[in-house]
């Protein structure tokens, strides 16, 4: 067994866990559970005894210790750090075997960048653009693990249909990336609760909105962005844009599925539509159920699965042997 294949497969699973823990931390409002980084109130783990808690609160008087918020933040940090260790081990085997060195080096570089984003997330007090970028960095890490796994698995399957429709797949991928950004922007600006009815929003088709404030990507540095700083109108604008984006992605995805469907690609198509349908259901249920934590985390994770499935489709549009069958 190729050790890089085993490690990269484990890396995909571990990266999924890290993204889920990050979503749990963010959605449980625990992103500032530890006011410092990489420690927590100056401790390697976190304060537990009465004397340690008193010491921590004396050191950070404006950040009272809340154990229920510290735990998700610390667990997320330790799992994220383990990704870095895994990347170092993969780089070691890559250099030893003189294979996949560039990809494994890129993986470690991106994870180091993720550490910097983790520090900035805390030091800039959940600045929305940084938190959103942190999520995309995590998806890039997962994608590199996945591509490394596929490269070391020697899969020979490829589809003329996927190859010929590659441009359409890239367009769909771009739409999904934009929609994930809108979802992350909705979450990091605490706009998910701006509309708690569906298909209307606050009882109206189009309630008052402020798009200029809602999509100001250069918000002022300095405030504590926990629970958000935007007006209700700005949050409504973000939320509605995310809803409209979902409709666009759904319609385009149905169109794309009809274009790439063939006897050889039906597994890709059915898996793709299954992931998409699950994501639409979770998005609607987020609203109708008033954003339950489990559903919100699942919505994040299925969004990542949709992103990765496009990575898989693009990968197989380039790799492997051609089909002998004609396009359908």
Contacts of 312 (CB under 8 A, 6+ apart): 146, 150, 268
Q: Catalytic residues, which ones?
A: 73
* C-alpha triplet 153, 308, 304: angle, nearest 5°: 140
Q: Tell whether the model's pLDDT for residue 108 goes beyond 70.
A: yes
Condensed to tens digits (0 to 9), the pLDDT of residues 242-286 reads 999 999 999 999 999 999 998 888 888 999 999 999 999 999 999
Residue 75 binned pLDDT confidence (cut-offs 50, 70, 90) = very high
Burial class for 90, CB neighbours closer than 10 Å (0-12, 13-18, 19+) = buried
Helices (H), the chain: 3-27, 50-59, 67-97, 101-123, 128-153, 160-164, 166-188, 211-214, 232-260, 266-288, 293-318
Condensed to tens digits (0 to 9), the pLDDT of residues 113-167 reads 999 999 999 999 999 999 999 999 999 999 999 999 999 887 766 678 889 999 9
Q: What is the pLDDT of residue 325?
A: 36
Contacts of 190 (CB under 8 A, 6+ apart): 227, 228, 230, 235
Tokens, residue 245: 């984006």
Write out the DSSP string of 174-192: HHHHHHHHHHHHHHHTT-G
Q: What is the pLDDT of residue 326?
A: 32
Tokens, residue 207: 């309630």
Cα separation, 213 vs 28, whole angstroms: 25
Cα separation, 101 vs 93, whole angstroms: 9
Q: What is the pLDDT of residue 158?
A: 60
Cα separation, 271 vs 211, whole angstroms: 35
- Whole-prediction pTM: 0.91
Partners of 204 in the β-ladder: 201
Cα separation, 254 vs 287, whole angstroms: 23
* C-beta neighbour count of 318 within 10 angstroms: 10
Query: Coil, strand or helix: which one is 33?
Result: coil
Query: Coil, strand or helix: which one is 48?
Result: coil
């Amino acid at each position: 067994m190729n050790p890089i294949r085993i490690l990269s497969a484990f890396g995909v699973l571990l990266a999924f866990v890290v993204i889920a823990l990050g979503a749990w931390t963010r959605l449980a409002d625990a992103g500032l559970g530890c006011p410092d980084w990489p420690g927590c109130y100056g401790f390697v783990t976190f304060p537990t005894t009465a004397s340690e808690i008193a010491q921590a609160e004396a050191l950070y008087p404006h950040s009272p210790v809340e154990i229920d918020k510290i735990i998700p933040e610390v667990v997320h940090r330790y799992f994220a750090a383990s990704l870095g260790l895994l990347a170092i081990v993969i780089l070691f085997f890559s250099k030893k075997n003189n294979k996949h060195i560039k990809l494994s080096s890129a993986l470690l570089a991106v994870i180091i960048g993720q550490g910097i984003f983790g520090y900035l997330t805390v030091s800039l007090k959940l600045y929305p653009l940084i938190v959103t970028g942190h999520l995309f960095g995590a998806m890039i890490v997962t994608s590199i693990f996945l591509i490394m796994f596929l490269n070391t698995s020697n899969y020979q399957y490829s589809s003329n249909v996927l190859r010929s429709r590659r441009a359409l797949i890239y367009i769909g991928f771009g739409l999904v990336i934009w929609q994930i950004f809108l979802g992350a922007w909705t979450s990091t600006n605490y706009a998910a609760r701006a509309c708690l009815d569906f298909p209307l929003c606050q009882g109206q088709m189009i309630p008052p909105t402020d798009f200029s404030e809602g999509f100001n990507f250069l918000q002022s540095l300095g405030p504590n962005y926990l629970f958000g700083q935007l007006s209700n109108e700005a949050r409504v604008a973000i939320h509605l844009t995310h809803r409209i984006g979902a409709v666009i992605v759904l319609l385009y995805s149905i169109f794309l599925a009809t274009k790439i469907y063939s006897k050889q690609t039906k597994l890709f198509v059915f898996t793709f539509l299954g992931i998409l349908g699950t994501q639409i259901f979770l998005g609607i249920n987020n609203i109708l159920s008033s954003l339950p934590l489990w559903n919100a985390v699942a919505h994040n994770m299925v969004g990542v699965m949709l992103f990765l499935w496009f990575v898989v489709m693009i990968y197989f549009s380039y790799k492997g042997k051609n089909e002998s069958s004609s396009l359908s």
